[in-house]
């Protein structure tokens, strides 16, 4: 059976420009608006293209304080006992995303 999730877990308005808002949802979707909510864009597919798991809930979305189209997203698969971090960055309002930690080698702590 499949549990439907659709709860907003994080929301952030761009300090660089009013009316630019980013929203993260527990089902893994990320939405953005540039006009205060009149029109929304789903930027979930580009995150998946950057390696983001589609079944991971969004834990935080953070709009850059300095660049209008830049934002960071963290996702979590803790419900599936997967505690790896998933971090993504966009500089073009979510049209494309990158994983800034993908060039770093994973290390165990402890």
Residue 13 in any domain: the answer is yes
Residue 24 in any domain: the answer is yes
Domain span including residue 77: 8-90
Residue 109 in any domain: the answer is no
pTM: 0.83
Residue 1 in any domain: the answer is no
Residue 95 in any domain: the answer is no
Averaged over 30-46, what is the pLDDT? 95
Residue 49 in any domain: the answer is yes
Residue 100 in any domain: the answer is no
Residue 71 in any domain: the answer is yes
Q: Give how many domains the chain has, as a whole number.
A: 1
The model's confidence at residue 4, banded by pLDDT at 50, 70 and 90, is low
Is residue 2 pLDDT above 60, yes or no? no
Q: What is the DSSP string of the chain?
A: -------EEEEEE-SSSTT-EEEEETTS-EEEESSTTSS-EE-HHHHHHTT--TTPEEEEEEE-SS-TT-EEEEEEEGGGTEEEEEEEEESSTTSS-B-TTTTSPP----
């Amino acid at each position: 059976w499949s549990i439907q999730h659709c709860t907003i877990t994080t929301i952030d308005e761009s300090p660089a420009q009013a009316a630019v808002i980013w929203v993260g949802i527990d089902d893994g979707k990320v939405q953005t608006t540039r006009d205060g909510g009149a029109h929304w864009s789903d930027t979930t597919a580009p995150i998946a293209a950057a390696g983001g798991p589609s079944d991971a809930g969004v834990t935080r979305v953070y709009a850059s304080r300095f660049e209008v189209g830049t934002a960071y997203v963290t996702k979590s698969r803790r419900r599936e006992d997967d505690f790896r971090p998933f971090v993504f960055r966009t500089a073009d309002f979510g049209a494309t995303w990158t994983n800034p930690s993908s060039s770093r080698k994973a290390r165990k702590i402890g």
